[in-house]
Chains A and B, each alone.
Chain A
């Protein structure tokens, strides 16, 4: 049975992802940990796209500023900022499939060593095969120039979520470029998964013990750059 290691909080995971984003880019943030990334990029030159049909999505609305006609893709009331634009959801996905998103940050259930992503079908919910909340995940995984997958490193039972082959239904094949978990930052390369950063107090062996595929240790492996 794998040990449970202590790693980054969800907030610090979001901060680490924010450090990965470059100024002058268009970014889509998925539901869950990815949503928290917006807290760490305030004031930066990054345009957030919301797949419901909004570019340059502003911060969450305060109670008195809630407008029922203005929500993000997670159904949270948000705000406009200078330079916002509205489009239909069809046009929104046109820009997603059309390769205009520089980065998509997506939540994940499993990622394989080839970068396959499984993020939408949790078999424990008991729905028939092929039925679940796909939402925008498949289009974003296929269309974004760079896909960052975020998740807690293991299941609550301690099972690896970075696996040789995904057991859960796929979102897209070979689409993930970078995996950020509470324990490690791992790059997906043609040679395999490269372990680049780890949580303070952990060793590469610790991370390997809760990761199914063999990790390649980066020569400059270091603690999380926060």
Chain B
């Protein structure tokens, strides 16, 4: 099984208008920069992005906003922390004008909706968000003496993920905190596209240390080491 593609444009070629696209990375760490750039070149519209944050440390994602490709985001920390830094950010301006819809989730709920999606579960109960705006319109159920909130799984159409190493069969190994959301997004999406720093042959990854088994990955692209500067 050889899942390697030769270019970022080929890797994202079938992403369609209106698709739900999960994008890995926590601020700068573990972001599949080259795949996001290819998505901007492809230009598909009305996208729903499942992504931690829009903007801080990630100009490529903002290009999607500037291109008018984003309809909605499902995020947990969508904006700049500093109000003054965020005031002029194109994404924040469009959200204030209600031109882009944002569904904000607690970070743990965001992760768990992906993990449930990848594990074939429809929903789960979490104590997080009870008594807050996050609970609005959602079922509350008591287990023992505690209230829990029903949250449903997310099954994105595509996931763009980043890993340190990958083999031709799609097995991936992440590195340090660049792992973050990448494995759960890879498992949840219908079609997962992985940008890897190093492409290796099957047999060259220690099977005991694989973070994402190849069954979850449709395409692998070697991108080298993306350069971004940590810090916001």
Interface residues in chain A, defined as those with a beta carbon under 8 Å from any beta carbon in chain B: 31, 50-54, 66-77, 80, 86-90, 92-94, 96-97, 121-122, 124-139, 142-143, 169-173
Q: Which residues of B contact A171 (CB under 8 A)?
A: 132
Interface residues in chain B, defined as those with a beta carbon under 8 Å from any beta carbon in chain A: 26-30, 56-57, 76-79, 81, 83, 86, 92, 95-96, 98, 102, 104-109, 111-112, 114-115, 126-134, 136, 164, 175-184, 211, 226-232
Task: Please tell me which one of the listed residues B29, B107, B133 contacts residue A139 in the complex, with CB atoms under 8 A apart.
Answer: B107
Nearest A residue (CB) for B73 = A131
Q: Report the Cα distance A139→B176, complex, angstroms.
A: 22
Q: Which residues of A contact B104 (CB under 8 A)?
A: 130-134
Q: Which residues of A contact B79 (CB under 8 A)?
A: 125, 127, 132-133
State the majority secondary structure of interface residues on A.
loop
Task: Please tell me which one of the listed residues B111, B132, B133 contacts residue A90 in the complex, with CB atoms under 8 A apart.
Answer: B111
B230→A134 contact, CB < 8 A: no
Nearest A residue (CB) for B181 = A89
Q: Report the Cα distance A71→B177, complex, angstroms.
A: 6
For the complex of A and B, list the 3 residue pairs with the smallest distance between their C-beta atoms, beginning with the closest.
Answer: A93-B108, A139-B108, A90-B111
A134→B76 contact, CB < 8 A: yes
Nearest B residue (CB) for A125 = B83
B177→A134 contact, CB < 8 A: no
A96→B132 contact, CB < 8 A: no
Known interface pairs A52-B26, A96-B108; A128-B56 also in contact (CB < 8 Å):
no
Q: Provide a sorted-by-A list of 17 A–B residue pairs whose CB atoms are within 8 angstroms.
A: A51-B107, A68-B178, A69-B177, A70-B178, A71-B27, A71-B28, A74-B232, A75-B230, A75-B231, A86-B177, A89-B26, A89-B111, A131-B95, A132-B79, A136-B76, A138-B128, A143-B128
Q: Smallest Cβ distance from A89 to chain B, in angstroms?
A: 5
Nearest A residue (CB) for B116 = A90
A90→B127 contact, CB < 8 A: no
Task: Please tell me which one of the listed residues A87, A130, A135 contacts residue B133 in the complex, with CB atoms under 8 A apart.
Answer: A130
Q: Which residues of B contact A54 (CB under 8 A)?
A: 176-177
Q: Which residues of A contact B111 (CB under 8 A)?
A: 88-90, 92-93
Task: Please tell me which one of the listed residues B29, B228, B232 contacts residue A70 in the complex, with CB atoms under 8 A apart.
Answer: B29
A138→B26 contact, CB < 8 A: no
Q: Report the Cα distance A205→B131, complex, angstroms.
A: 33
Nearest A residue (CB) for B115 = A90
